[in-house]
């Protein structure tokens, strides 16, 4: 079962608030358990508990760094595929000028429309609509390419078909890296469970060492939640503050 998008129904700001609340409650539960045990049983030594808390926080930091690296790698893949697609469309557009005038002009018009659809999807977030329009334009462009090759077997026609085929392949690759290549849901679940356990242990340790809650724990919780939200932002294409630049596509459209 694919759980990679199980956080997607919540906006990023809601994920941040939910994370703060969940880990804060976890720390409070740990603190209350420690105070309860200290009143009804022999005093528990702080040393072993502190060592275990340190180990859990270290494991949490490792898991957070691993997830951040995974999301950043996916984000980098999206940047590269946008540039590759812009280059492939630009090459196809230039080669279309060498086709017979009627077909070449129609192909260049459709390629301009194709770029407009891609840019509109990136700016407005209408991904499904853009995919449908893009595939329709691809079918029309390919039908024209087939018509050309039926009467023209020259190297020029072959080069045009080759570049158009690359545009279609990059469309599929862009869908894969943007919509399907996400941080696996199992990693998100493991990260949240580990955060709950680590913060509970932190609260438990604090309950053993002090009768009052430290404000520093709240700072740690907010800092952890902020870093986690960066990972969520990186993992969500077309949403949040961290978005893939469309400058290469904009420059291509301008040159057309």
DSSP per residue over 201-227, as a string? Answer: HHHHHHHHH-SS--HHHHHHHHHHHHH
Percent of the chain surpassing pLDDT 90: 19
Sign of CA dihedral 134, 121, 169, 184: negative
What whole-number percentage of the chain has pLDDT above 70? Answer: 93
Distance CA 126, CA 227 (A): 28
Helix (H, G, I), strand (E, B) or coil at 135: helix
On average, the pLDDT of the chain sits at 84
- Between CA 108 and CA 98 the distance in angstroms is 11
When pLDDT is cut at 50, 70 and 90, the band that residue 9 belongs to is confident
The rounded distance, in Å, linking the Cα atoms of 46 and 63 is 26
- Cα–Cα dist 245/230, whole Å: 17
- Confidence bin at 22 (pLDDT 50/70/90): very high
> Would you state the pLDDT for residue 220?
86
Q: What is the pTM of this model?
A: 0.78
Round to whole Å and give the CA distance between 55 and 29: 20
Mean pLDDT of 32-42: 75
Locate all alpha helices (DSSP H) within 125-214, ordered by sequence.
127-151, 155-175, 185-209
Largest Cα span, the chain: 93
The reported pLDDT for the residue numbered 213 is 73
Q: Per-residue pLDDT averaged across 188-203, rounded?
A: 90
Give pLDDT, residue 149: 80
- Indicate if the alpha-carbon torsion angle 19, 25, 31, 33 is positive or negative: negative
What is the arithmetic mean of pLDDT over 20-27? 91
Band of the pLDDT at 35, cuts 50, 70, 90?
confident
- pLDDT tens for 66-123 read 999 988 888 888 889 889 999 999 999 998 888 888 888 888 999 999 999 888 877 7
CA neighbours closer than 13 Å in the CB half-sphere of residue 32: 6
What confidence tens digit (pLDDT) does each residue in 216-252 have?
888 888 999 999 999 998 888 777 788 888 889 899 9
Task: Give me 184's structure tokens.
Answer: 């696996």
- Predicted pLDDT at 182: 82
| pLDDT number for residue 66 | 92
Q: Report how far residue 171's alpha carbon sits from residue 175's, in angstroms, rounded to the nearest whole number.
A: 6
Nearest C-alpha neighbor of 177 from the set 169, 165, 166, 188: 169
What pLDDT was estimated at residue 192?
Answer: 92
Q: Which two tokens stand for residue 92?
A: 């196809």
pLDDT at 124: 59
Interval 42-69: pLDDT, tens: 565 666 777 888 888 889 999 999 999 9
Q: State yes or no: pLDDT of 131 exceeds 70.
A: yes
pLDDT level of residue 4 (50, 70, 90 thresholds)? low
């Amino acid at each position: 079962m694919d759980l990679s998008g199980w956080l997607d129904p919540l906006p990023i700001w809601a994920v941040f608030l939910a994370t703060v609340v969940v880990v804060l409650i976890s720390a409070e539960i740990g603190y209350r358990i420690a105070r309860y045990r200290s009143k009804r049983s022999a005093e528990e030594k702080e040393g072993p508990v502190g060592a275990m808390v340190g180990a859990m926080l270290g494991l949490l930091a490792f898991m957070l760094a691993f997830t951040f690296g995974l999301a950043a790698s996916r984000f980098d893949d999206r940047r590269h595929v946008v540039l590759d697609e812009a280059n492939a469309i630009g090459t196809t557009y230039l080669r279309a000028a060498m086709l017979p005038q009627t077909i070449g002009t129609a192909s260049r018009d459709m390629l301009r429309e194709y770029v407009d659809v891609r840019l509109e999807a990136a700016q407005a977030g209408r991904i499904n609509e853009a995919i449908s329009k893009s595939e329709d334009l691809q079918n029309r462009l390919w039908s024209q390419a087939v018509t050309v090759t039926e009467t023209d077997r020259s190297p020029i026609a072959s080069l045009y078909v080759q570049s158009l085929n690359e545009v279609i392949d990059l469309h599929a690759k862009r869908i894969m890296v943007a919509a399907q290549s996400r941080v696996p849901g199992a990693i998100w679940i493991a990260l949240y469970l580990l955060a709950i356990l680590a913060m509970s242990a932190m609260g438990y340790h604090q309950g053993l060492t002090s009768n009052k809650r430290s404000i520093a724990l709240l700072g740690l919780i907010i800092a952890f939640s902020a870093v986690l939200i960066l990972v969520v932002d990186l993992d969500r294409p077309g949403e949040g503050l961290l978005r893939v630049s469309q400058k290469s596509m904009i420059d291509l459209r301008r040159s057309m």
